[in-house]
Amino acid sequence: MTFISKLIHYLKASIIYIVLGITLILYIYNQLVGIFLASLVFVVYLVSFLLSISSKRRLLRVIRDYPIISDKEISKKLDRTIDDVRNILFSLSKNQKKKKWLIVFLNKRYIFLNERAVDNFKQLYHKGYNEKKILEHLQRNTRIKSRAEIKAIELTLANQNRLNINNE
């Protein structure tokens, strides 16, 4: 994260606590105003939550068409900052264990693989191919560039227990 994005994140967290403190103080002195302000804060928080969910869905809808796409390419396609895209991909990657797609973090960047690319990788892996052979096969159909990417995909799938033959 850059300094500015850290500062914005810190300010967002600080504003929430300041508003909660003001709401509590107002509630002590005037309960009606405190309840109104608390309701207003809740509505604003709910709207921001719904916007974040819709941005995740929009991002997924766009990137599922690509076998493999990096965070920089996603940023260009959606006209969003790279930090926004990385934050969304980070939050999506936390809950991807039961998903058919895969998000891999490698060298300070995210790589998204759609369902087809993950299935292709699993098939090659279960055939007993090593990293070099898997790379050769996947380079024909996708934009995988290095063995490090293959290793990161393998480690991510293994950490999520998605490489077992029984899971297919």
Residue 148 pLDDT exceeds 70:
yes
Q: Where are the beta strands (DSSP E) in the chain?
A: 68-70, 102-106, 109-113
86-111 CB burial, b ≥16 within 10 A, e <16: bbbbeebbeebeeeebbbbebeeebb
Question: Among residues 63, 89, 111, which one ends one of the domains?
Answer: 63
Same structural domain, 162 and 97: yes
Each residue's pLDDT tens digit, 79-133: 888 888 888 898 888 888 888 899 999 888 999 998 888 888 898 888 888 888 8
Whether 39 and 74 share a structural domain: no
The pLDDT of residue 103 is 92
Shared-domain flag, residues 146 and 75: yes
Q: Among 63, 89, 107, where does a domain finish?
A: 63
Say if CB 114 and CB 64 are below 8 A apart: yes
Residues 53 and 76 placed together within one structural domain of the fold? no
What is the span of the domain harbouring residue 152? 67-168
The predicted model scores a pTM of 0.70
Q: Are residues 115 and 139 in the same domain?
A: yes
Q: Are residues 74 and 121 in the same domain?
A: yes
Nearest to 98 by CA among 54, 162, 6: 162
Q: Is the pLDDT of residue 38 over 50?
A: yes
Is residue 87 domain-shared with residue 145, that is, in the same domain? yes
In a shared domain, residues 85 and 124: yes
* Dihedral sign of CA atoms 155, 156, 159, 165 in order: negative
> Is there a single domain that holds both residue 73 and residue 149?
yes
Phi-psi region of 56 (alpha: psi -120 to 50; beta: other; left: phi over 0): alpha
Regarding whether 52 and 20 lie in a shared domain, the answer is: yes
Instruction: Decide which of 63, 84, 112 is a domain's last residue.
Output: 63
Q: What is the pLDDT of residue 168?
A: 46
Instruction: Count structural domains, the chain.
Output: 2
Same domain, 150 and 102: yes
Distance (Å, rounded) from C-alpha 146 to C-alpha 116? 19
pLDDT for residue 32 is more than 70: yes
Max intra-chain CA distance, the chain: 71
- The confidence score (pLDDT) of residue 1 equals 52
Q: Identify whether residues 27 and 91 lie together within a single domain.
A: no
Dihedral angle of Cα 43, 45, 51, 52, to the nearest 10 degrees: -160
Query: Residue 86 in contact with residue 124, Cβ under 8 Å?
Result: no
